[in-house]
Amino acid sequence: MIVAGNWKMFAGPDPEALAERLDGLDGVDVVVAPPYTRLAACVEAGLVTYAQNVHWEAEGPFTGEVSPPLLLALGVRGAIVGHSERRQLFGETDLGVARRGQAALDAGLHVIACVGETREERDAGDTGTVLRVQVQAIGESCGPHDRLVLAYEPVWAIGTGLTATPELVQEAHTLIKSLLDRPVLYGGSVKPENAVELLAQPAVDGALVGGASLEIDSFAAICEAAARSRS
């Protein structure tokens, strides 16, 4: 079980207080992905820390980007790639996501690669096609790498308060695993109130948590639910 907290462009909770709250929790691997200004503080607090994005080049004239070697030098352990907000708001493509993931893995980082459909795509019956295209792009570049984890995050459930039903999540995760045999997290308005039911699905290997990761008690409750789900 893996629970990753994506703080997005928020300062997030105090890293030392979060590390203390999670100390001694067994049965779940906890990751935090803070904004760049909080990476060092999270590393220093002993939290397993990922960046929210990573470039495919080691260095160069890429203003606003960060490379795998720069992250590793800071003590960062991994990176998220292909988050729906990066795809929808910043125009990242399947090819670019795959390149980012491959470069991060080649450098020694862990990767959470995100896939998911929009509301329009789901309503049109295209969820399966969208997931196949996105997952295959990642698979062709990265393969079933042992440091690669996928995250299914239906775009219509990101920051909207909407959550896919456990049945829809199980169906999507089963499809993704049939395309690339790696663990799959669910991301999409995960809260303490729905975490137990979502994490109980056999094909769900954890959660990618957004807003609920900004408050220590709610994030800890999700982590504890994940730990219990496989006990």
Active site residue 173: no
Q: Is the dihedral of CA 7, 152, 56, 182 positive or negative?
A: positive
138: nearest Cα among 178, 100, 170, 98: 98
Residue in this structure with the two tokens 């203003």, named with its chain if needed: 63
Q: Are the CB atoms for 17 and 216 separated by under 8 Å?
A: yes
| Helix 192-199 and helix 166-179, axial crossing angle in degrees, nearest 10 | 50
Token reading at 68: 């795998």
Burial class of residue 178 (count of CB atoms within 10 Å of its CB; 0-12, 13-18, 19+)? exposed
Query: 110 catalytic, yes or no?
Result: no
Catalytic-role residue among 85, 117, 121, 153: 153
Run of H or E including 112: strand 110-115
Give the separation between CA 130 and CA 118, rounded to whole angstroms.
9
Set 55, 83, 110, 145: catalytic member: 83
Sign of the four-CA dihedral 85, 98, 115, 3: negative
Q: What is the DSSP letter of 213?
A: G
Cβ 220 vs Cβ 192: under 8 Å: no
Active site residues: 83, 153
